[in-house]
């Protein structure tokens, strides 16, 4: 009897031990699975392949919001943003984000670029598109890892003076590009994702010549001639210069209206202060790019300074105003371009004036990533300041019969990294030709690389490098 009781107790004990072991094994298996789901690294380079494999469901939107609550980001990381990337990049999205942060020991906004091929500002825009404050971008390309921003100097679509572009080419207005530009220049303009020009004239259908310009060149064009800018591929223009008021303020306002109707963005001025100070945003190459512009100072002929409710231009002499404009742009964009109509230049001098350098560098200090200058018919030097390119004058791109050296300045992004190029051109008899593959290119490159501004080299293909 005693042996039987001991045998039963031994069986019970073995059963209890077995149950405990079984529970422990189950617990360890579940722990291992959870740990695997949490720590398995998902390569951003193979995200699409991973999406076709096992689905990781350990992380919810609520979990990610909590994890990123204190993230130092350019935007507010909210439910809409997280669910947008999850819905567009697959169920593994949250796991890949967690893995990225663990691997890099901290959160940075570079995570979005590396995992999803776009900046957090771009993804935030698409996540909130249509909501208030999210309707201010022109989308050039949302699925490319490259983009090219190109810049040309003064374009004067005047048809009054006998040496001006539309007068000289008056017989070819219906097909003017082949008559006015070499094929490689046309290709450069057309291949740019975003092309910007200095709009140095007014649309004058309803304007009267500015009386202040009795001894001053005035440039005007019929409203319909805006189609030529479209044919050139121009996407955005600077109107903050001393020629958009050549036919008085009524034509200045008409110029804005003509550009709007043509779908061409404008900066540097506006119908009132808010319009003039609002950066124009583009999405290209996975980035949000901002453009702002201003005139260095007022001239006798320029439009008035923009007012709270009155039209005019942005002036570099108003530090507070342009600082507000740059601050807004740098807060909301990944790359900020400031286009400046400089008018303190010394005629026919390739060197920048002290006033030019002071303003350009102040714009970089405030937040501009590139400063592009125009106004002088003379091509001027280039410098790097705090790692940012400053082009003091592109020269006249399409203006008159007199010969001028000029450049097309390009900022080419490859996976968010910019490279800078100069395409040397000569404008003569109101025809602009590229001279990149000729000996003239070396002469032009020598003109714009002033050792006093820092050592810069320009390769045969126009690549600009800071040494």
Confidence label for 377 from pLDDT (cuts 50, 70 and 90): confident
Q: How confident is the model at residue 28 (pLDDT cuts 50, 70, 90)?
A: low
pLDDT of residue 33: 44
Which residue, among 348, 340, 375, has the nearest Cα to 200 in the 3D structure?
Answer: 375
pLDDT tens-digit readout, 159-194: 888 889 999 999 999 999 999 999 999 999 999 999
The pLDDT of 338-361, averaged and rounded, is 89
Tally of residues, the chain: 467
Q: What angle do CA 150, 142, 51 make, to 5 degrees?
A: 145
Look over the chain and give the mean of its residue pLDDT values, rounded to a whole number.
87
The H-or-E segment that residue 81 falls in is helix 79-89
Instruction: Give alpha helix (H) positions in 300-376.
Output: 319-332, 354-366
Q: What is the pLDDT of residues 242-300, one digit of tens each?
A: 888 888 889 999 999 999 999 999 999 999 999 999 999 999 999 999 999 999 988 87
Distance, CA of 119 to chain centre: 12
User: What pLDDT, on the 0 to 100 scale, is given for residue 345?
Assistant: 73
Which pLDDT score is estimated for 7? 52
Query: pLDDT-derived band of residue 21, with 50, 70 and 90 as boundaries?
Result: low
Please check the confidence at residue 327 and state whether its pLDDT lies above 70. yes
What pTM, to 2 d.p., does this model score? 0.86
- Measured between alpha carbons, how far apart are the two ends of the chain, in Å? 99
Q: CB-based contacts of 65: which residues, under 8 Å, 6+ apart?
A: 77, 78, 79, 82
| Residue 354 or residue 30, greater confidence | 354
The DSSP letter of residue 225 is G
Q: What pLDDT does residue 205 have?
A: 79
pLDDT of residue 376: 78
């Amino acid at each position: 009897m005693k042996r039987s009781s001991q045998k039963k107790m031994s069986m019970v004990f073995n059963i209890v031990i077995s149950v405990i072991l079984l529970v422990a094994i189950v617990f360890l298996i579940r722990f291992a699975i959870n740990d695997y789901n949490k720590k398995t690294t998902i390569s951003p380079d193979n995200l699409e392949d991973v999406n076709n494999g096992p689905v990781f469901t350990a992380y919810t939107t609520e979990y990610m919001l909590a994890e990123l609550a204190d993230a130092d980001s350019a935007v507010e990381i909210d439910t809409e943003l997280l669910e947008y990337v999850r819905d567009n990049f697959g169920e593994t999205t949250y796991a890949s984000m967690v893995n990225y942060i663990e691997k890099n020991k901290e959160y940075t906004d570079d995570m979005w670029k590396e995992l999803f091929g776009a900046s957090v500002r771009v993804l935030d825009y698409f996540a909130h598109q249509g909501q208030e404050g999210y309707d201010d971008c022109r989308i050039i390309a949302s699925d490319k890892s490259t983009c090219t921003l190109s810049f040309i100097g003064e374009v004067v679509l005047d048809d009054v003076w006998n040496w001006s572009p539309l007068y000289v080419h008056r017989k070819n207005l219906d097909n003017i590009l082949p008559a006015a530009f070499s094929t490689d220049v046309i290709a450069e303009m057309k291949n740019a994702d975003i092309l910007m020009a200095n709009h140095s004239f007014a649309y004058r259908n309803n304007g009267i010549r500015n009386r202040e310009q009795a001894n001053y060149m005035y440039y005007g064009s019929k409203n319909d001639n805006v189609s030529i800018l479209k044919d050139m591929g121009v996407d955005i223009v600077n109107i903050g210069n001393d020629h958009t008021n050549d036919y008085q303020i009524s034509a200045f306002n008409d110029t804005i209206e003509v550009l709007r109707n043509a779908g061409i963005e404008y900066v540097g001025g506006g119908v009132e202060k808010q319009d003039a100070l609002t950066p124009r945003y583009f999405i290209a190459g996975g980035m949000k790019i901002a453009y702002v512009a201003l005139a260095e100072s007022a001239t006798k002929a320029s439009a008035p300074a923009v007012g709270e409710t009155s039209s005019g231009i942005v002036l570099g002499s108003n530090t507070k105003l342009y600082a507000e404009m740059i601050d807004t742009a740098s807060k909301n964009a990944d790359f900020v371009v400031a286009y400046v109509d400089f008018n303190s230049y010394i005629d026919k001098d390739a060197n920048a004036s002290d006033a030019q350098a002071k303003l350009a560098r102040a714009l970089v200090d405030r937040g501009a990533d590139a400063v592009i200058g125009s106004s002088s018919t003379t091509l001027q030097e280039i410098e790097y300041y705090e790692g940012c390119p400053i082009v003091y004058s592109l020269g006249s791109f399409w203006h008159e019969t007199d010969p001028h050296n000029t450049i097309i300045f390009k900022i080419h992004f490859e996976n968010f990294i910019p490279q800078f190029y100069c395409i040397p051109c000569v404008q003569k008899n109101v025809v602009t030709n590229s001279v990149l593959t000729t000996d003239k290119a070396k002469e032009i490159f020598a003109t714009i690389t002033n050792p006093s501004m820092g050592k810069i080299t320009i390769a045969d293909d126009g690549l600009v490098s800071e040494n």
